[in-house]
Structure 1
């Protein structure tokens, strides 16, 4: 029985835990006692997800904080640490691309980055897709030809790169432009990226007129082309009248127990991108919106001057303080009631509704494909969660397993997992697969998170391993299984014509494989899942090999410990680059004594590159 009296009536964070100590949910509250009492009141919480959560909760831990902002920061930290199942999870939880330019460099360049740091550099964006940012860069380089490669790479060349030849680099590395002239290019690029096109156009037109008076007609023609390029770029951009500045505008659409949230990125009065998220409606609107903003801005992303919302959450002031601290400048969190800003929020809400409609159409199409898979492979249940496993090794070394997941027909990358093989020595894929499957399913039993359908990358042998593990854990009635065998190469009787057979699906207890129609959506979905499992395993396997290659060289050097190995890798980026470093470069590294630099240089050049 819940006793609210034992919990403090102050602000802080609470963690709901299961019988094994696993954290199911992390939340914050201005008054912990009142918040927890609301969960266990006589009326109860009407949300089905919360009712299911409360049945599993065996303990509630509270952490008291001095202020609400401290509670918000602690909540974010604990969610990142424990990844609770019932907190909001942004399915495509990735940071967006931004452009970085460091004006302190003599010849600054534009860099594509995913992390926005408080390092004194200028950041522009975010850009929701690589296509959008590359289109922007293409326009920038055509108008303002900044350098394209790292400075050392450029200086090591005997002549300027190809970009210089086609007029998309000014060649500062070979003295083809003075620092003052290059600085003017940088100023123009910054102004254009900041949305100050009018200022750039006026400057270029003045320079064009002055060049024409000096009879420098080639320079005047080049400036004229820059003016025309900017004018054409500006014409394609959507302009909104909402007070200018940088703003993120949040729209929310609810329907059928789901919530769609759309964010419009407005920079200097222009909409430069949109991002949408589909969430299960597990929280009150106020708590849901607040949690979403914390998850979204809890990463290293560009934080704007203002965040416009459809309504003001209870902790809006705390959110504004937290965002201001993250950014280093004041950030406003507003819910406009009228005027152009309210119209912009309405536009974001329409985008959220349209995104929900589009996602619903795609969802129906995926559901139909999953129904076809269930029918053709004789599954006993609808395959809402599908998992696929693969093993990767080279001659038994660095053996790893991979698990990739489809949830409702979409890749659920947050649920992907790697497995280091612990109990198998040598190249035994079946034994490795058995270990991976047992570890995965035993944990699934503990956490009550099992798949509906497991697809094995392989034929009867791999399927036999899975079938044996399911029987051992008494799961054969709860999880469907199949194995996908790669197509075979067939020759005709004369041995000349070569054909490829269809992909074959083996089912437990069935001798003959099932063949899906070539080109069918069901076959395409399962093939992509199999290929993704293979890619995921191979990528991790190669990463382990690279780490081992670096470690095997450096571990034999006295004085090079784990911290120094990591520092060397961060500095040079790869073992190949470290081997290419000169003795003088190693001596110049901070924290690396000259004698140790000499031993390292000798060790690196005694061993042949792998």
Structure 2
């Protein structure tokens, strides 16, 4: 949302006179423009101190300067405590939607999974709205997608009915769901009430986070069925075990009982993404990304704590139906969370704990959330910002006579010199041109010699281009410093490629995104762009894409080289251990996908043996 400029004819706000009489008590303040429209709502433990910070002579962030330039009036409301101020602030933000406040739009109720009651063969279904007595509910889930994913898994694994009673009561033959092995057809009596009840109980165990207990029970049933020569039934239990193990491999478990919200903040290119990972009963039920909105230029990097504080207040105070765990994990430290915790307890009767110092399983959850936030924000930036404008900005900062229409970027990836792969990615004014991406398997060079690997890749790439097998770029970006740039320039000179501008992209002294240094060709020096420069965002995008493309190629090459023997060929894994492994996981494919920690949970398998199995069977 764009904001109008301040009215030059309006009288300036008398901040000095206002601050002389304002209270030092806690409360909220409302800032208004000359036309009487609300600009901003804030809270303060000390109103005089907080409001004085807006009118200091220097050091204000761009967001604050833009706000202050439009203030014509400030109203304050005194409250008894800081907690009351926080609650009042959130109510006013929700009602008035001030343009300079961080705004969160998310008011949908949350869905559940339910099992109908009173039926001989209960139905599995999604539910949203008022709960009914006697019905078993599991959840809430973060969104409908998480529910549908869970329902699909339950239907495939336990073959429970999802059809309405009107359909169920009028069937005379099995439907398509039975034919594709997703329902046991209780409607026409193809399964007994006792067996169906067992399937329901197993599904409830899974939803309650008792997967380990369930797997052990299914393993016993599989062995019992096999002992009675009921091999088809044993195979069914085996498939259920395998399905459960696949789900467990995708999730990080903490004792099977943890209820946690994991909140990660990522900022890039003037935008912010807050990603929430929902952990219930130790299982990851789903996630959701939020993109806080503001009417001003969003340089969130100035104060990530302010953004997270505003987000947490709106997210947990404005949605009383929201399911709240007792523990919230945060990617950034936020001061003043005591008042927020008290406000939530006062409103919902539930005390929240906030934690930022993480380790073990909780740290792994946070890493998942941070990765998702980063990827979603990158996708949002790519869709929101016009790539052509970024090219035009690059033309301007490099002082080029014409618009560059094609960029290429090289990167090298290896593991301590093993399976070295070079990538070349291509961007045009429409974005990534993936049909022109190329990878080069590097051979014949000393392992770990990035200079030689880069030289080989560039020579192979531009020898082909010189022969007319492609189009030369306007700008060639090298992910590296002066050494890599000089080597690239030497190769291009040997190949008589003279019309390509070559630039190195070094990480800078802090090695953080936004502080990259551009190494200019022909020893012209270096250039550092501001963190909000569209030209820098374009360079970061293509550099990160070349990095991703190189790593993917390297992993594929390394995995192909490392792929090795089957379970029977692993030293120290005899018949008893193989039996326990297959009993626990259900099949060789599931053993391949298991982590070292999962393998070590199997009886007779020590941590050392688990590491040997993992190395022999797993590609990672």
Q: TM-score, normalised by structure 2?
A: 0.49
Comparing both chains, which one has the higher relative contact order based on Cα–Cα distances under 8 Å and sequence gaps of 6 or more? 2
